[in-house]
Chains A and B, each alone.
Chain A
Amino acid sequence: MLRSTVFGVLAATALIAVSSTSPSDAADMVKKIGAGEGAVDIVAWPGYLERGETDKNFDWVTDFEKKTSCKVNVKTAGTSDEMVALMNEGGFDLVTASGDASLRLISGKRVQPVNVDLIPSWKKVDPRLQKAPWHTVDGVHYGVPYQWGSNVLMYNTNIFKEPPKSWSVVFEETTLPDGKPNKGRVQAFDGPIYIADAAMYLMKHKPELGIKDPYELNEDQYKAALTLLRQQRQIVGRYWHDAFVQIDDFTNEGVVASSSWPFQVNILASQKKPVGSTVPEEGATGWADTTMMHADAPHPNCAYLWLEHSINPKLQGDLAAWFGSVPAVLDACKGNALLTDEGCKTNGLDNFERIHFWRTPVSKCASQGTCVPYYRWVTDYIAVLGGR
């Protein structure tokens, strides 16, 4: 009890610090773009910034460098936590932060407000994303939406003739359509944010808990989610962490259902493996990434030039085709040769309302008084994985 109180106080202090400093940050916002500094350093997900080195059709960096003379240096990061760590370290201009990192960056004062008036294409951004809570605090924008997508339920089409209707195949001990139990044949993600997937499942199956948002859980709801995950631990052999290890597990380990990304689905499908993907009735968690700017960005002008470039329809369409994601600019969905006109729909454009976007759980939450903050998600999820 004492421990949670101490942590609560600490987290609350952090929040107070955020709200009290935000306005002054807004006043320090860049007012106009000067000449480019010749370079821009970006922390990004692997595959997010392509310069045609993997496949020459996918290149949205070279023409930017030609046009602006800003050389783009990319540092890839494998997880949100790594991104936060890199930004805490400093020396970068921009980061393609997911919702579970963005609020942490804002409260840690690692990123600065973005003056959307300096970005002409801002008005083209999908209106559903323009004021998204993972980058807008007190009406101040801390970044420009980049791409979004949803996690999916990947399944083996030899076992499931019909797409599974519910996530229950990975959460509950059950018998699969081939008559064998699912124990040892399903997987889950090994990151703490997966607790939200459990909470999302409970929203539908245990309405009496009153979960309104899977990222905002009070003690009882949180406990129920952990109970569900402990139950899941019994049927999951190995949790997936590395996309390629999961691909191998579907190929060689007899794994037939798991939460996954469109990325793995596309690769396995391209290898003619019997896999399909679906978003079951409970919905899905997803990610929405925002390009954010470091508070001490060494090249602010090039950074602004990139922010404008990042939401041009050509880049957005190409990236969506490459990554299996959905563009932040709807104009990108039409007339892109790589994405095709069906691409946005395939990648889940219409699922927007059913997707619970990754956000960092904090103690002071909107839907109810106090929620369980992220640091406890980390330790508790490690404990669940350890079978405790």
Chain B
Amino acid sequence: MDIAVRFERVSRHFGEVRAVDDVSLEVRAGEFFAMLGPSGSGKTTCLRLIAGFERPSAGHIEIFGVQADRLPPFERDVNTVFQDYALFPHMNVIDNVCYGLMVRRVSRRERHGRGAEMLNLVRLEGLETRRPSQLSGGQRQRVALARALINQPKVLLLDEPLGALDLKLREEMQSELKTLQRSLGITFVFVTHDQGEALSMSDRVAVFNKGRIAQVDTPETIYARPATRFVADFVGHANIIEPASAQRLAGRAGTFALRPEKIRFAAGGAMPETGWAMTDGQVVAAQYHGSHTRYEIRLTDGLVLIAQRQNEAEPMAASADGRVRLAWRLDDMTPLGPDSEAPP
């Protein structure tokens, strides 16, 4: 499989700040690749390094096998959908979309033909002569997408493109983007701080923390098998079981993550089976979430676990005083590696 973007020990420093710190990574051609992380984790700087807006302080970047460290943005087969869309306010929609063709001196007739195709693709026919200021947020987003796609880039970079949209529109766009990526076969590199977005859309996810990559893998693995405490915590909810508790509850050494939905509520007199851990606790709080309810359960040693239960037809069997018996498969406990800390 071709490698679309390769980072080889890339760093980008701004004075004392190590925005990107010794990152190596490979984005495969044709995949939908998400960069997930909290703000300031270096994901956007990585995107800007790919686009050419930043240059690496150290290391090398290749785009489809071509060394790109010193390549200016206008010489890269890479286009970007900006977080604020960056539509040219003095141009109408069609001119915005066709900008990439215009600066390449494509004739006006051909330009407008392709522009119309692009608007068709993002379902914005009929808005050609509007100014960006006359469009809704979702429409602007589509114009930005069409504009970035008209040059048929090898890699499309998306910098939090859905951040400014409301929930419903965001969900709609998520599936649309995914469909579009499938049909065009272009490599998408997508920056987001929204773990749900990253998990639902991408083929692979890189989780960033403090300028470094904590884990790169498929969404399923990232979720089910977080590599570090940071990933476990940042992606979904996780119970972190410290070594002392792990030893007592499961007879295992190390720190573990346990997803709340993996914890079962056992019947009062149930006995532990092989491969399972079991413990008693007291429900201290319950949050109703519609499809499921989330419980806070204090164990006898004071450890508080979060457990989640689907709201099925039958109500939960708990004793009147709120005492419950919990059980989970030992395999669902994911051992966590140490979090990478930037060297001092």
Chains A and B touch each other in the complex, with CB atoms below 8 Å apart: no
Q: Which residues of A contact B (CB under 8 A)?
A: none
